[in-house]
């Protein structure tokens, strides 16, 4: 089964860049939260090469069902992290849910 990902775009407040990187990076709040579930594969944080305040996160899971089940089981904690991180950005946009087309890309790193 191909890996499942969901993707978000963020514009970060310049004053909160360090806090954003600490929360959304590979060992940040979100990755630590998701890592408790073996169905989570990894999170990638991408920074726009021409716009240093624009970021993309890609969260890799074994399936949509696994992501949804984990989120439902830990909804209060998810919301608490999301609320703490809300002031770090000017906006966040959900770009969508996707299936990884290249199986090698979906492999767990680490």
Residue ranges per domain, the chain? 4-100
Q: From CA 75, how far away is CA 89, in angstroms rounded? A: 21
Give residue 107's pLDDT: 56
Give residue 1's pLDDT: 66
Q: From CA 5, how far away is CA 25, in angstroms rounded? A: 16
CA 96 to chain centre: 12
Instruction: Enumerate residues 6+ apart whose C-beta is below 8 A from 53.
Output: 11, 12, 13, 14, 17, 90
**Which CATH number applies to 4-100?**
3.30.70.100
Q: Residue 44 pairs with which residues in a beta bridge?
A: 58
10-residue mean pLDDT series, the chain (110 residues): 90 96 92 96 96 96 96 96 94 95 60
Q: pTM for this one?
A: 0.87
Give residue 100's pLDDT: 87
Asked whether the beta carbons of 44 and 106 are under 8 A apart, the reply is: no
Give residue 26's pLDDT: 85
């Amino acid at each position: 089964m191909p890996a499942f990902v969901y993707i978000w775009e963020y514009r970060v407040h310049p004053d909160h860049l360090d806090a954003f990187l600490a929360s959304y990076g590979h060992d940040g709040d979100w990755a630590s939260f998701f890592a408790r579930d073996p169905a989570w594969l990894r999170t990638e944080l991408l920074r726009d090469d021409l716009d240093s305040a624009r970021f993309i996160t890609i969260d890799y899971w074994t399936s949509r069902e696994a992501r949804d089940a984990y989120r439902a089981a830990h909804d209060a904690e998810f919301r608490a992290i999301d609320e703490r991180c809300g002031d770090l950005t000017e906006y966040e946009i959900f770009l969508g849910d996707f299936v990884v087309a290249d199986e090698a890309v979906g492999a767990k790193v680490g």
